[in-house]
Chains A and B, each alone.
Chain A
Amino acid sequence: MPELASLTEGLAASTSRRGFLARVSRLLALTAGGGAVAALIKPGEADAFHFCGHIYTTDSCPHPTGLPRIDAHGFPLRAADGAPVDDLGRPVNGQGMPIGPDKQPLLDPDGRPLPPAPRSRVCQEGVAERYHLHTRIDGAWYRCCGGHVRKLVDCCAQTRRRINGDGALTGYCYAGRRVFCVMYYDTKIPC
């Protein structure tokens, strides 16, 4: 039997309305496991998660600008506009050089471009270095958020503890790995 989380998340993918997500989750839980299981997923809990599409309490992976938005390769993007950012949170151009609001390189007083800072993949490099874990991205799930399809991405590791400090869940991780923290990737596919 697939995990309860996977089933509820599958249904949740059909809507972007978080209240409806909670109700559907509870209905499925009632069908599948009865009242005790349903009690674990109360209406309102799904509303409580900190970004659209995320239906559990695992916290965000450390990200240079806050919300854990990444690109298709796992590098950090600024959540507000999808701008690529370096590990300091500065928007960068294609060469990794920091740029200003006018998209031009930031300059020092002599007119030289400011130096590039590292730009690390949020899970595979950033989390791995900070928490000394061997991290990888296993599976993912997609939901409709803000009019576009969003990919919910788990950062997986061989760990029993998640970033919150308590027990880690299986989520979309395989081979004994568990979810350490979560990220998302916004596609350009409308929904």
Chain B
Amino acid sequence: MLTVALAAVAALAGLTGTWSPCGFSMIETIGGPGRRVGTSCAAFAGGAVAGGVATFGLLAAAGQAVRSAGAGGLLVAAAAIAVVGALGELRGAAISPQIRRQVPEHWRRSLPLPVAAGLYGVLLGLGFTTFVLTFAVWALGAVTFAVGRPEVGVAVGIAFGAARALPVVAIAPLVHRPAGVRMCAALAERPRLLRTMRLADAVALLLAAAALFAAQASGARLAVGSDPSAAGGAVAWTTAAGGFLRREGEPGTTAIPAHAVLGGSLIAWRDGDTVHVANAADLSAVLDVTVPGVDAVAISDEWLVTREPGAAGDELTARLLSAPDDVRAVATAARPAQLGRPGVDGSTVVYHVATPTGSRIVAYNLDAGTSRVLRRSRSALLANPSLLAGRLLYVRQTSLAQLLELGPATPGARNRILYRLAAPAPHDAGHEKGHSSETRTPRPKTAAWTLWTSALSATRAYVTLLPRTRGKLPVIVTVAR
């Protein structure tokens, strides 16, 4: 939805660029008599798309790096920028800041036309190297940076470059024919056309702003409950009144057993010391296993993973569904260290190890019997991971913030922040009463909630919010990936 909205803005912004000095120049240059028009049009279009992808892709990548560094709340800022751009377009205001540069004229004389056209296309596709005819270009730059998703930036760049090239490619071959002359005259002599395009830009920007607000608001509450799990387009969670399942994107819930988790095509839940495994589609029984003290479960189509108390502390064990009597030790932790709720995808288990000297997210390959540390910190609490198709979702808590991070399930990979809460505990003023307040000691707000267990689906991420004050119930929020 967001990608489509921004691509639409980009396409309209690219079309609006036709009215620039460079846009007109390209039509006349490429369409000149006796020129290699077809080849030049292709080169121009390719260059424009490449330029668009370079600009908006890089802006998005830079935005992603900034978001990885901890900046949050950028979607609201992006939406505000889109609204401001739309207001400018609605008023038909003069573009400011304006870039009063044109492509190098001498290229058309000194280079073969296809080469020059290709280079001209790159410059026009870059967007910010020549005259800007709509606030939408500036807004797109800021929004793609704020959204910080390279795939969105690439889509925006392709749409912008293609739309920038389309009028040129369409009119240039006809420019010396009556139809082409009429089209050029219409472009040049009917300012209403440009005004209409700018109004369209405004509408598209407002729609994009709405999509951005929706994306921000999607970090909204799913339900009261905790311990979400997701598989097969559904999400399950548990409450004091039992478990619930919801198909993603559909209203309504289905009652399921408490403490149920989804994985692959299966569902598993614990009831006392018994773990039940069933088909998620119809709850038909697959397997019952007794695991004394079991307090957490994860399931895939091949494996059942459980956490139970051992003599020294937490233990994680795994069972092949085809051979449930073959119990394999995955990990143990001596108190006060804790093992987190496991998550399993295929044959890979992820879990956290939290100790007073550090925390880490570990992936254990059940087939190979090997483990590796995916994330590690000596100061932050890294907890409650989920895994799906090589993507790792987990919670990072520091003294300043709580983050829900998504990144590749490879050691030390960079993450994207999907959701953020304020500090997990109160801070003081950073200075003593009656003394100077001149200190750089940060004083973050304190969150009312603590980020807890997570789940990851193909399109969304889920996280439990535990209340910091007694008497409140935990809730689950969901955000788009």
Contacts and interface: CB of A to CB of B under 8 A. Distances in A.
A3 interface: no
A163 B337 CA distance: 33
Contacts of B470: 100
B290 interface: no
Contact of B354 (A62, A64, A115): A115
Contacts of B354: 115-117
B359 A63 contact: no
B439 A50 contact: yes
Contacts of B397: 88, 117
B129 interface: no
Contacts of B435: 18, 47-52
Interface stretch (A23-31, A33-41, A79-87): A79-87
B357 A65 contact: no
Contacts of A92: 356
A178 interface: no
Nearest to A49: B436
Interface string A124-138: 011001100000000
Interface string A71-100: 000000011100001111111100111001
Contacts of B437: 50
Contact of B399 (A49, A50, A65, A163): A65
Contacts of A100: 470
Contact of A118 (B379, B425, B439): B379
Contacts, number: 141
A10 interface: no
B447 to A, nearest CB: 11
Given A50-B430, A115-B352, A109 B438 contact: no
Nearest to A109: B226
B295 A48 contact: no
Given A117-B381, A118-B355, A50 B432 contact: yes
B430 A67 contact: yes
Interface size bracket, A side: 35 or more
A93 to B, nearest CB: 9
A89 B427 contact: yes
Interface in B367-426: 377-381, 383, 397-399, 423-426
A129 B379 contact: yes
Given A89-B425, A117-B397, A60 B357 contact: no
A109 B467 CA distance: 10
Q: Is the interface of B mostly helix, strand, loop or mixed?
A: loop
Given A50-B431, A65-B426, A79-B428, A117 B436 contact: no
Contacts of A112: 295
A114 B424 CA distance: 13
The binding surface of chain A is classed by DSSP as loop
Contacts of A85: 425
B135 interface: no
A116 B380 contact: no
B365 interface: no
B425 A119 contact: no
A120 interface: yes
A79 B443 CA distance: 14
A51 B431 contact: yes
Q: Among A52, A60, A65, A119, find the residue whose CB has the most chain B CB atoms closer than 10 A.
A: A65
A155 B200 CA distance: 60
Contact of A64 (B340, B425, B438, B464): B425
A139 interface: no
Given A50-B439, A65-B427, A118 B359 contact: yes
Given A66-B441, A96-B336, A118-B357, A89 B426 contact: yes
Contacts of A80: 428
Contacts of B379: 87, 118, 120, 125-126, 129-130
B100 interface: no
5 contacts: A64-B399, A65-B399, A66-B429, A118-B377, A119-B356
Identify the 10 closest CB pairs spanning chains A and B, nearest first.
A96-B356, A89-B425, A115-B354, A50-B431, A117-B381, A64-B399, A66-B428, A95-B336, A48-B436, A115-B338
Given A52-B432, A109-B466, 9 more contacts: A18-B435, A63-B441, A65-B428, A88-B399, A88-B423, A89-B426, A100-B470, A115-B352, A116-B355
